[in-house]
Amino acid sequence: MSKLTGSKKATQFTESVIREMTRLNALYGGVNLSQGFPDFPAPAEVKQAACAAIEADVNQYAVTWGARPLREAVASGFSRRYGLPVSADEQVTVCCGSTEAMMSTMMAIIDPGDEVVIFEPFYENYGPDAIRSGATPRYVTLHEPDWTFDPDELTAAFNAKTKAVILNTPNNPTGKVFTRDELETIAALCRKWDAIAISDEIYEHIIYDGHRHVPIATIDGMADRTVTINGLSKTYSVTGWRVGWTISPPSLTGAIRKVHDFLTVGAAAPLQEAGAVALGLPDGYYLDLAARYQRRRDMLLEILERHHFTCYKPYGAYYIMTDVRAFGCTNDVEFARYLVKEVGVATVPGSSFYKDPARGRTKVRFCFCKRDETLLEADRRLEKLVPVGVPR
Ligand SMILES: Cc1ncc(COP(=O)(O)O)c(C=O)c1O
């Protein structure tokens, strides 16, 4: 057999459906409500700080685990908000986005045969991340409409082989914000089975209706067994900058830093300087960010419901999961392709968030990290869509 083929690992997962939808959107000139990136500007102070860093010739490799000002800002920000001491030297590693932070963490802690518990629907990277790190994923379902999990199902997913559980709160794609009680349940299982929580908190500040973000690291006995992952992408509307980080217990930091170093050496040095400035923005910035997103959420909810989508109201992050049975849809991928090609609105097919695609077959996800004009244009285009049984 020819050796001019991809590896077995690479054949075990497909191209990212989310990124594919963005490409299809460009092809058909659609309104892109698929991939979660803002179409409005980043904060002026943050952009100026990046320009100033380049002007000041911050052009060479930063320390591989991250420039000190950013690591200190990450550590002090987390300590201040949640009352948990974090050491910039021993616990913070800056990576190329939280995507790399997740991959480096998994490669640093997983051995082939280890099991990893993943809640589904899940952010689509976690599946390939598990495969690439050699983990055996064990999926636990979040049940709509409020995306709760069955504690018995979770309990049954843990065993002596469980090395880690991957958590994402506020959650993509559901908008769920895990409650303290739910986190206590997960934490108790981590303690019982000596497992690590890898907690993707990239939507930490994008949270609505008085819900509060609780980092699982702050639950009793979890600081020593949690890797918290976050980044600049969503909080400061700079998804293309590729700056993220891990906060890990000192016992795991060395392994994460080694993997990170040989994977990417480091994140963009001038953008790390700007990141330190971003993290120093006053509290009002974060309140304003959440308030603006809540308004956009309400706007898109109203649009989608008027166009006959069944919406699951999100309490955090910037996505709306919908059910599309009203349109006679039984195949989310075909429906999403129809939407982008014929209606001109790009979404993400629900099946890409599930291990078993059948579970997402009647769902599509919209994002609302967009200007009002963009959402209104989507509204106008969705007029074309007619539910079954309604005459044109
Ligand atoms: C849950 C979640 N984690 C991570 C990422 C990627 O973040 P980054 O840009 O920091 O790699 C995304 C982007 O959509 C996301 O939704």
- Of the CA atoms within 13 Å of residue 135, those in its CB half-sphere come to 26
- Give the nearest ligand 1 atom to 230 CA: 10
pLDDT band at 17 (very low <50, low <70, confident <90, very high): confident
- Give the nearest ligand 1 atom to 168 CA: 1
Q: How far apart are CA 144 and CA 136, in angstroms?
A: 25
Of the listed ranges 38-52, 287-301, 322-336, the least confidently predicted one is: 322-336
Above pLDDT 90, what percent of the chain? 89
How much is the pLDDT for 389?
Answer: 66
For a mutational test of ligand 1's pocket, the pick from 203, 233, 238, i.e. the residue with the most ligand atoms closer than 8 A to its C-beta, is 233
How much is the pLDDT for 246?
Answer: 98
Report whether residue 264 contacts ligand 1, using a CB cutoff of 6 Å: no
Report whether residue 171 contacts ligand 1, using a CB cutoff of 6 Å: no
Which stretches of 83-125 are DSSP H helices? 88-91, 97-109
How many CB atoms lie under 10 A from the CB of residue 38? 20
Q: How far apart are CA 267 and CA 260, in angstroms?
A: 10
Average pLDDT of every residue of the chain: 95
Report whether residue 104 contacts ligand 1, using a CB cutoff of 6 Å: no
How much is the pLDDT for 20?
Answer: 84
Q: Which one is predicted more confidently, 330 or 98?
A: 98
Report whether residue 101 contacts ligand 1, using a CB cutoff of 6 Å: no
Report whether residue 34 contacts ligand 1, using a CB cutoff of 6 Å: no
Kindly write down the DSSP assignment for every residue of 197-255, as one continuous string. Answer: EEEE-TTTT-B-TT-----GGGSTT-GGGEEEEEESTTTTT-TTT--EEEE--HHHHHH
Q: Does 11 score more than 90 pLDDT?
A: no
CA of 4 to the centre of ligand 1 (A): 32
How much is the pLDDT for 390?
Answer: 60
Instruction: Annotate 111-120 with b (16+ C-beta within 10 A) or e (fewer).
Output: eeebbbbbbb
Q: Does 377 score more than 90 pLDDT?
A: yes
Report whether residue 95 contacts ligand 1, using a CB cutoff of 6 Å: no
Q: Residue 7 pairs with which residues in a beta bridge?
A: none
Report whether residue 123 contacts ligand 1, using a CB cutoff of 6 Å: yes
CA of 242 to the centre of ligand 1 (A): 10
How much is the pLDDT for 8?
Answer: 84
Residues 6+ apart with CB under 8 A from 224: 249, 251
Let me know: does 259 contact 286? Beta carbons within 8 Å. Answer: no
Q: How far apart are CA 149 and CA 145, in angstroms?
A: 11
Average pLDDT, integer, range 39-62: 97
Report whether residue 64 contacts ligand 1, using a CB cutoff of 6 Å: no
Q: Does 118 score more than 70 pLDDT?
A: yes
Residue 147 corresponds to which tokens in the numbers above? Answer: 């995306």
The single-letter code of the amino acid at 142 is L
Report whether residue 316 contacts ligand 1, using a CB cutoff of 6 Å: no
- Give the nearest ligand 1 atom to 96 CA: 11
Report whether residue 30 contacts ligand 1, using a CB cutoff of 6 Å: no
For a mutational test of ligand 1's pocket, the pick from 172, 178, 238, i.e. the residue with the most ligand atoms closer than 8 A to its C-beta, is 172
Angle (CA) 179 185 186, round 5°: 90
CA of 202 to the centre of ligand 1 (A): 6
For a mutational test of ligand 1's pocket, the pick from 202, 204, 241, 365, i.e. the residue with the most ligand atoms closer than 8 A to its C-beta, is 202
CA of 327 to the centre of ligand 1 (A): 30
Report whether residue 275 contacts ligand 1, using a CB cutoff of 6 Å: no
Average pLDDT, integer, range 17-28: 88
Report whether residue 121 contacts ligand 1, using a CB cutoff of 6 Å: no
Of the listed ranges 26-30, 248-252, 277-281, 376-380, the least confidently predicted one is: 26-30
Distances (CA, A) of 385 to 347, 380, 390: 14, 10, 10
